[in-house]
Chain A
Amino acid sequence: MQSGKSAAQTVATVKPLQIRGRTFTAIALHLTGRPDRTFFEALEARLNQTPLFFDNAPLVIDLEQAAGLDSAQELMHLTAELRRRKLSVFGIQSGTPAQARAAAEAGLISLPGGRDAALERVSRQGSRPVPAAPPAPKEPANLMINQPVRSGQTVFADRGDLIVVGSVSSGAEVIAAGNIHIYGRLRGRALAGVNGDTSARIFCHALDAELLAIAGLYRTSENLGADTPRQYVQVHLQGEVLRIESLK
């Protein structure tokens, strides 16, 4: 059984990591030739028009019209120069395969696509989110507790169902990403589907809970009502309503 302390720590962090898709706004810098002195002068002039505006802005170098720029050294030099001007270069787009290899060598990522970047659409196109690695398939990790969960203890099944063979005391907390099964009396707090799983359920032999929650929707003992079934029950979500039903 998880000790009170380690379980509490797990609860505090909830989950070691989460992977989410995210869209960022970035600016694209279209090169029309080699980054020579003229280019840098023009860049300085442009940046001076709106000082601070581009400070630390995420930036992609668009190489569509700069086919000749395919050496890593040149790209590195360009990157360094841009970064010195407080532009946060992180990748290239519309590059040839050779340019993509050079970019990788220069520590830049190569974004696919070559769509025209209209100025007013910069914020929508810009850099599309780096395609996130597909999340590793989650292995269900159910947690089985074979003794009573005592007052003050927290047990957390962060990747699956929680099964308690015994009672959950008043002042104890059982939490699961999935379902919660209690083969005993539930006197404490039970929170199922804590990562947002609205299909999670709570099952218990006898219900005397301080608090029931599924995917964040909760009811406390005070508003459970006198007609709530108390023996062999399941708790589930029906729309936005937490329902308590007898299993008999």
Chain B
Amino acid sequence: MSKVIVVTSGKGGVGKTTSSAAIGAGLAMRGHKTVVIDFDVGLRNLDMIMGCERRVVFDFINVIQGDAKLKQALIKDRRLENLHVLPTSQTRDKDALTTEGVKKVLDELREEFDYIVCDSPAGIERGAHLAMYYADEAVVVTNPEVSSVRDSDRVLGLLNSKTALAEKGDGSAVKAQLLLTRFDQNRSANGEMMSVEDVLEILAIPLLGIIPESTSVLKASNEGTPVSLDEKSPAGKAYMDAVGRLVGEQIEMRVNPGEQRRGFFQRLLGRTA
């Protein structure tokens, strides 16, 4: 039974594409056959984050318009056997997306893949709407700051009303979970950033994971490597934990996974530094 997961946020720049790539790669590493689709028509980024931008021949829009077959547009990842990317068009805009076209492509992908990760564009217009419309689950990417939280709240309202599941009217709903990204423990403790509890109190959805602010994220993006492949970085580990929870495992929530408990002297030094 395949699952369509939309990665969405409302606000731009919070880490949707990074998270889509990391979650897609994480699912593939766990042995699930996964495809990541870029819904940000006209502002194509996913292919770069996933390091396959030089292999794009056909794209999502070509498939929707019948100019290419799905098999021709899908790009197989070179590092992970189970990972595929469906890039989007840089020259077209969101109007090229149609409800029927998206449904047709997703139905075809459902036959072959275990997980279909839809990387939503920012905003709540056509592109974002169609990215979430056929979703079974949603990963709502939020930064710990007020405007991001409010936009995520808006998106949660849309997930409850403007999706195929919600429109069925039989009480079914898209299962939404929160992915808190760019989280900085120290700044949150100082009150410069919202705390995890504050965000959860407002959004009132289950927490999928906390991704610490990390230099490794930008580095991975520039290299075109999903950050979850970087097993040494705290962000990569946090994404792998989140992926584990996404597939239903019970994993303890850690703000900085992998950070060793510092020894007595280190703590002393850390304090004086």
Contacts and interface: CB of A to CB of B under 8 A. Distances in A.
B154 interface: yes
A1 B124 CA distance: 20
Contacts of B218: none
Given A166-B204, A170-B150, A171-B150, A151 B161 contact: no
Nearest to B156: A150
A149 B157 CA distance: 8
A185 B160 CA distance: 20
A151 B154 contact: yes
Interface string B110-131: 0000000000000010000000
A1 B160 contact: yes
Interface residues of A, number: 19
Nearest to B205: A148
Interface string B141-158: 000000000110110111
A169 B162 CA distance: 18
A223 B166 CA distance: 39
A209 B124 CA distance: 24
Contact of B154 (A152, A167, A187): A152
| Interface of A, helix, strand, loop or mixed by DSSP | loop
A5 interface: yes
B160 A151 contact: no
Interface in B163-190: 166
Given A150-B154, A152-B154, A169 B202 contact: yes
B204 A151 contact: no
A4 to B, nearest CB: 5
A168 to B, nearest CB: 10
Nearest to A147: B160
Interface in A141-197: 147-153, 166-167, 169-172, 185, 187
Nearest to A7: B161
Contacts of A150: 153-154, 156-157, 160
B64 to A, nearest CB: 26
Nearest to A150: B157
B161 A169 contact: no
Interface residues of B, number: 15
Contacts of B156: 150
A18 interface: no
A170 B147 CA distance: 10
Nearest to B161: A3
A171 B154 contact: yes
Contacts of A148: 204
Contacts of B160: 1, 3, 147, 150
B123 to A, nearest CB: 13
Counting chain B CB atoms within 10 Å of each CB, the highest count among A148, A149, A167, A185 belongs to A148
Nearest to B157: A150
A185 B202 CA distance: 9
A93 B142 CA distance: 72
A3 B158 CA distance: 9
Contact of A151 (B157, B162, B201): B157
A187 B146 CA distance: 12
A167 B157 contact: no
A149 B154 CA distance: 9
B204 A153 contact: no
Contacts of B153: 150-152, 169-172
Counting chain B CB atoms within 10 Å of each CB, the highest count among A151, A153, A185 belongs to A151
Contacts of B161: 3-5, 153
Contacts of B162: 3-5
A198 B62 CA distance: 60
Given A1-B160, A153-B157, A167 B150 contact: no
| 3 closest A-B pairs by CB | A150-B157, A3-B161, A151-B153
Given A1-B160, A152-B157, 15 more contacts: A3-B161, A4-B162, A147-B160, A149-B157, A150-B156, A151-B151, A151-B153, A151-B154, A151-B157, A152-B124, A167-B204, A169-B150, A169-B153, A170-B150, A185-B201
17 contacts: A3-B162, A4-B158, A5-B161, A5-B162, A147-B160, A148-B204, A150-B157, A150-B160, A151-B151, A152-B153, A153-B157, A167-B202, A169-B150, A169-B202, A171-B154, A172-B153, A187-B202
